[in-house]
Amino acid sequence: MGEHFPDATKKVDFIRRDKVHVQIERALCDGLPYHRTIDEIPAADVRPVVRGKWGLDPQCPVCGEDRYKGLDADIWADWEPPFCPNCGADMRGDKNGQIGEKDNG
């Protein structure tokens, strides 16, 4: 990474690719070091995706809370929401077998 990226091992930011392209173009046209212009791009608002899959019991495999919590279980007995109503885990099926694990999308 060298002298241009002293904090590269300390901080992880997610930025939009299209914004990087624009900043590099501007820097090259203006004769500026592009790494400084990339540092000016604000970080995107992201969060890790946690995945799970509903089983036979009503408990979320990620947080352990009941998906029917606060609901009339008789009316909602077959309800399988795409996201856990308690922790927000994506329950539309696991990705690469990673149930309850964080992934990047």
3-state secondary structure string, 47-88? Answer: CCEEECCCCCCCECCCCCCECCCCCCCCCCCCCCCCECCCCC
Q: Is 101's pLDDT higher than 50?
A: no
Q: What is the mean pLDDT of the chain?
A: 76
Instruction: Judge whether 49 and 90 are in contact, CB under 8 Å.
Output: yes
Q: Is 100's pLDDT higher than 70?
A: no
Q: What average pLDDT does the segment 57-68 reach? A: 90
Q: What average pLDDT does the segment 57-65 reach? A: 90
Q: What average pLDDT does the segment 42-49 reach? A: 81
φ, ψ at 37 (rounded to 5°):
-70, -30
Q: What average pLDDT does the segment 84-102 reach? A: 71
Q: Is 41's pLDDT higher than 70?
A: yes
CA distance 45 to 54: 28
